[in-house]
Structure 1
Amino acid sequence: MLDRFLEELSSVPATGNLDAADQVWATTAAFFAGHGFDKLIHLDVARGQFSLQTTMPDAWIARYQELGYAGIDPFLSHCCITFRPISTGIAYADQHRGLSAAQMNVIDEASGFGWNAGFTSTMRLRDAQGLAGWNIGSSLSRKEVDALRADREAELRLAAHHAHLALARAMSAFSVLLSPRENQCLRLLAQGCRTKDIARELGLSTSAVELYLRNARQKLGAATREQAVAMFSSVMS
């Protein structure tokens, strides 16, 4: 199955647009779901350019943003600092030593959206310039996930590596660097400001603010405004 997956990835043209990235993502999500891992997060941050893909529902993304979870998410603070795979999800709660009660709450709430057990695969260690990595999760039990990892983890991590490269190729000609105005509008939105508040703060019309926010969302490849804010917050925290 891995060979077929790699062939499918290689068949996606590196056109540098969101359609190509969406095709890579759909292929990747289907591959991992076929191996029992139906919950995925891929984050790539580098020098202000970043992208986020996830199979988590919009309701979770909205809650993640609303409660400021990007600032305490253990995936960002504890997992992307090592290439060693880290077990994730509420089913591995006994292994989450050193996490705060707030961080454990993020994991607990994610379980309500189906994230029970999984593991990470870091592509680029977190530093001042950014990070890149996968959180590969499942709604299956810990026992089932342990069995899958024992049998296929090396294959799955290799697949994640190639999917990461394919996503980078697909986005290579598509700049996601936000303009100063887009950055300002998204930052104020993340702080809880409404469109009219942002317009008043920046001395803009509400239609101009809507345009900047729409452009920012499109650059980030976010399906919703809430997802764009969550992506922005995860990087700026």
Structure 2
Amino acid sequence: MNFPKGRTMMVSAYENNEVVEKVWRTSDQTCRRHVNPDGSAGGWVALTANVAPTVYIGPDAIVLDYAQVSGNAQIYGKTQIHDHAQVSGDTRIYGGAKISGSAQIYGRAQIFGRAQIYGSARVFDDAQVYDDARVYGHGFVYDHARIFGSAKVLGRTEIWGSAQIYDSAQISGTAQIYDTAHVSGTAQIFGDSRVFGHAEIFGHARIYGDARISGHANVYGSARILGKTRLSGRAQVYSNA
């Protein structure tokens, strides 16, 4: 078992010369196997953490520190949940995902692959974060939004609707991406920008300031959109505006 902190050792409790309980002890916490709703032996849970009996924890997953997992959440693979993170509802987390800090995952959200959610981030409703994507800071991802590839969502951003952020795109500041907008490539959206409708931002484009991109507008190449620029309709911008 790959604990993220400290040296580990197995300690067994015996009764009538038979092992009745096994715990893992790290340098700073003791962990016990979770018992899943079907009676199977689940993953390791620190005594300081709180995992409801309705939760399924796969045998290779771990819940450490003061993390809380409740509702009908299902945790599989080599998932790590620690610090003060909270997972609830009907969420599914699997692969090698990591949830930490004071992040919250709830609703029917899915986190998988090597995705990381940390800081004070929130992922909820039917949102999905996967591959090597990261959501952190105070980033909110909800509705049916998808964050994947190596994309990063941070700051006080909000991604919702059916928006998709992928490849190596980055959303920061107080930007908001929603409706069916797509941001991809190495594009960056920051400041107080809004991208919505069916707009697509890709390539090496940068959107910042109070810009508003909507409709079926495309911004790509090495375009820079700044200030209070407004683009809508079927506008195509591939150089500075």
TM-score (norm 1): 0.21
Question: Larger RCO: Structure 1 or Structure 2 (Cα < 8 Å, ≥ 6 residues apart)?
Answer: 1
- Largest Rg, 1 or 2: 2
More helix by percentage: 1
More strand by percentage: 2
